[in-house]
Amino acid sequence: MDNPKSIIDKLIGKSQEAFIVAIELYNKPTIKYRVEGFSFFICNAWELMLKAYLIKTKGNTSIYYKDNPNRTITLENCIRLVFTNNKDPLRINIEKIIALRNTSTHFITEEYEQIYVPLFQACVLNYTNKLFDFFEIDITEQLNANFLTLSMKITNIDETDIKARYPKEIAEKIINSFSDINQTIPKVDNPNFAITIRHDFVLTKNKKEATATFALAKDAKRAAYIFKETKDMQLSCPYTVSKCVDIINKWIQRDKLNFINPSNNENNQHTFTKYHFDLFVKFYDIKNNPRFCYEYNRSKSNYYSYSNSALEFIYSEIKKDPEHIIQSLKNSLKK
């Protein structure tokens, strides 16, 4: 029998292959099996990774049924053993996608892509984060970070059109799935469950505040109303401040940087904090850079989310001088 490390290495290797297949399959424009294929392979990737983690933390026997030692446990069992909190947004995300995978063996329609894509995108990022948390493996060493953003076709879901196109049973299934996901997203309200896609259109004279522009013409007969550019900013900038801080700390640990936090607290001497993140944001005016940051309004308050490009930029600056960068920023901002 293989030793535990050998089994773990094999499981993790296959898990990463399944993950990459899921991404590649979903991002191919000619594939019509995108939703079914992605849900199948991403679930397979999670199952293999979680079984490797269970062996690592609980031993070989942990992935087998006690009353049937020749049969390994299901993905659902793995999730309950690793993510014990049934309200964990990450766990809810995987469980919803498992339900979709099980459904796809019976039927699936093109509308499911519009329904589930916010969950798919969150699931991709969750997998990459947990792969690093559990095994210190950075998937972007095999797959460019740009490919972690799923390509998608977004159209409105019209209940009347669905009822006209499909038999009653299938139409009701689609509409109920759409309603369930739409109701769950605001309840969970966490990017580990879903990365929502929203387009905001606001009239403003300040071009810096706009993600799309248009012009008014005096003569409508000879004029066209053209959007020069549209951007799905919440998908481009999915990270909260706390998530940014968490990711940057993981990168620092991964690369074993001698990052210095010039505080009096020795316990936090090498920890990147929200305070440090705010220093970078202020010094480099990141909130006013649409490539790095997205501002949105919720309950009459302004919130900010950040892009992977922002994280990579901040980290590249840290790597230049990890021991002195924070003190340098503080000194510069005092002037």
Six token digits for residue 64:
């087998």
- N- to C-terminal Cα separation, the chain: 65
Nearest to 242 by CA among 215, 265, 274, 266: 274
DSSP 244-266: HHHHHHHHHHHTT------SS-G
Whether this prediction's pTM lies above 0.85 is answered by no
Query: How high is the mean pLDDT of the chain?
Result: 82
**pLDDT tens string 129-179:** 999 999 999 888 887 766 777 876 555 666 776 676 677 877 787 778 778
Mean pLDDT highest for which of 11-20, 115-124, 192-201, 287-296?
A: 11-20
Element at 71 (helix H, strand E): strand 68-72
**pLDDT tens string 238-250:** 888 999 999 999 9
- Write down the pLDDT at residue 217: 54
- Write down the pLDDT at residue 225: 45
Six token digits for residue 307:
């892009």
- How far from 4 is each of 8, 52, 275, 314, 333, CA to CA, in Å? 6, 9, 41, 38, 52
Query: 142: how many CB neighbours lie within 10 A of its CB?
Result: 11
pLDDT tier at 189 (50, 70, 90 boundaries)? confident
Residue 306 phi, psi dihedral angles, 5° rounding: -130, 155
Helix crossing, 241-254 with 308-320: angle to 10°? 40
**pLDDT tens string 265-299:** 566 678 999 999 999 999 999 999 988 998 877 66
Check pLDDT > 50 for residue 199.
Answer: no
- How far from 34 is each of 94, 100, 150, 241, CA to CA, in Å? 17, 13, 11, 32
Q: Kindly state the percentage of the chain with pLDDT values over 90.
A: 40
244 or 116, higher pLDDT: 244
CA distance 168 to 157: 16
Check pLDDT > 50 for residue 329.
Answer: yes
CA distance 93 to 96: 5
Average pLDDT over residues 62-77: 92
